[in-house]
C-alpha cells in the first residue's frame, strides 16, 4: 500500500509545482518589461550554469565561480555580440554538431571544454530569450509553447503507441511513434498560428510550418543532449530546485536549442 501512496504524493507534488511555476513564469513573461525579464533570465542562466558545472564534475569553488561568471558572459554577449553571429553559431551547433555528437556518443568533456560547452548552451539561450521578448513577448511565448506541445504530444503518443526506441542508449523512454505524434501536433499548431493568428498567405504559412518542424527536431536534440550528459554523469535529474520536476536544465533542455534557432528564423523571416 505504501508505493501507490508515494506515487500519488509525487504526482500531486509535480502537478502543484508545475501549475505554480507555469503561472509565475507566464506572469513574468507577459507582464515584465524586457529589462526586468532579462534579470529573470540571468537568474535562470546562473542556476543552469550551477547545474551544468555539477554535471561535468567541477569542484565546489569552481562550480560557484562558473555559476557567477556565466550570466555575466550572457550580458557581454547581449551587449557586444552581433545577433547574426549568435544565430549562425546556434544553427551550426544544433543542426550539425549536436546530431553528430549524439550519433557518435562523444563524451561531454570536463574542465575548460566542459565550461565552453556549457556557455555554448546557456549564453545563446539567455540572449535569444531576451531578444525575442524585446521583439514580442507573444512570439517568445509561442516558441516556448511549441516546445511544450512537442514534449507533451511525444509523451502521450509514445505512451499509447510507442514500440520503436528513438535513442535507447541516451533516453530509453523516447520512441519514434512519440516523435511522429509530436511532429503532427507541432504541424497543426504552426498551421493554426499561420492561418488564424497571423492571417498569413499559404506560402508564408508553409514557410512557418517548415521553421516549426525544424524547431521541433531541435527540441528533441536539446532534450537528448542534456539526457546524454546526465547519463554520462550518472544522475537522474540535473538538480532539485523544483519539487517533482528536477532542476532548471531539466525544464529548459529543449529550449536551449529552440530559442536560439527561433532567433535565427526570426532574422530570416524579416
CB 89 within 8 A of CB 124: yes
pLDDT 10s digits, 165-224? 999 999 999 999 999 999 999 999 999 999 998 888 999 999 999 999 999 999 999 999
Lowest mean pLDDT among 2-11, 20-29, 139-148, 241-250: 2-11
CB 244 within 8 A of CB 232: no
Q: What is the DSSP string of 157-177?
A: HHHHH--SEEETTTEEEEEHH
pLDDT 10s digits, 8-63? 555 566 677 678 888 899 999 999 999 999 999 999 999 999 999 999 999 999 99
Residue-level pLDDT at 5: 41
Q: Which of 142, 143, 167, 141 is nearest to 154 (CA)?
A: 167
Please, is 75 exposed, middle or buried when counting C-beta atoms within 10 Å of its C-beta (0-12, 13-18, 19+)?
A: middle
CA dist., res. 44 & res. 21, Å (int): 13
| Averaged pLDDT for residues 98-121 | 95
CA dist., res. 57 & res. 111, Å (int): 8
Q: Give the burial string for 204-239 (b: 16+ CB within 10 Å, else e).
A: ebebbbebbebbbbbbbbbbbbbbbbbbbeeeeebb
Q: Where are the chain's structural domains?
A: 2-269
Check pLDDT > 80 for residue 239.
no
| Averaged pLDDT for residues 142-156 | 94
Helices and strands in the chain, H and E counts: 11, 2
Question: Could you tell me the pTM of the whole model?
Answer: 0.91
Read off the DSSP letter of residue 246: B
Amino acid at each position: 500500500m505504501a508505493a501507490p501512496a508515494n506515487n500519488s504524493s509525487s504526482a500531486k507534488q509535480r502537478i502543484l509545482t508545475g501549475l505554480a511555476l507555469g503561472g509565475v513564469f507566464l506572469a513574468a513573461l507577459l507582464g515584465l518589461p524586457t529589462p526586468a525579464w532579462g534579470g529573470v533570465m540571468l537568474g535562470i542562466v546562473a542556476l543552469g550554469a550551477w547545474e551544468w558545472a555539477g554535471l561535468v564534475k567541477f569542484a565546489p569553488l569552481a562550480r560557484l565561480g562558473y555559476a557567477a561568471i556565466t550570466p555575466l558572459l550572457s550580458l557581454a554577449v547581449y551587449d557586444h555580440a552581433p545577433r547574426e553571429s549568435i544565430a549562425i553559431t546556434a544553427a551550426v551547433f544544433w543542426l550539425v554538431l549536436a546530431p553528430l555528437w549524439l550519433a557518435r556518443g562523444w563524451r561531454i568533456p570536463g574542465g575548460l571544454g566542459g565550461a565552453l560547452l556549457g556557455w555554448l548552451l546557456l549564453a545563446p539561450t539567455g540572449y535569444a530569450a531576451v531578444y525575442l521578448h524585446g521583439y514580442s513577448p507573444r512570439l517568445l511565448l509561442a516558441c516556448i509553447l511549441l516546445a511544450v506541445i512537442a514534449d507533451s504530444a511525444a509523451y502521450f503518443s509514445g505512451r499509447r503507441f510507442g514500440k520503436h526506441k528513438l535513442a535507447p542508449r541516451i533516453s530509453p523512454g523516447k520512441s519514434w511513434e512519440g516523435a511522429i505524434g509530436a511532429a503532427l501536433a507541432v504541424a497543426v499548431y504552426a498551421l493554426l498560428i499561420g492561418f488564424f493568428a497571423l492571417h498569413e498567405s499559404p506560402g508564408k504559412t508553409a514557410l512557418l510550418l517548415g521553421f516549426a518542424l525544424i524547431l521541433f527536431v531541435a527540441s528533441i536534440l536539446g532534450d537528448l543532449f542534456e539526457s546524454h550528459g546526465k547519463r554520462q554523469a550518472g544522475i537522474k535529474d540535473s538538480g532539485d530546485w523544483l519539487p517533482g520536476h528536477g532542476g532548471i536544465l531539466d525544464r529548459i533542455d529543449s529550449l536551449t536549442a529552440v530559442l536560439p534557432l527561433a532567433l535565427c528564423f526570426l532574422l530570416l523571416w524579416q
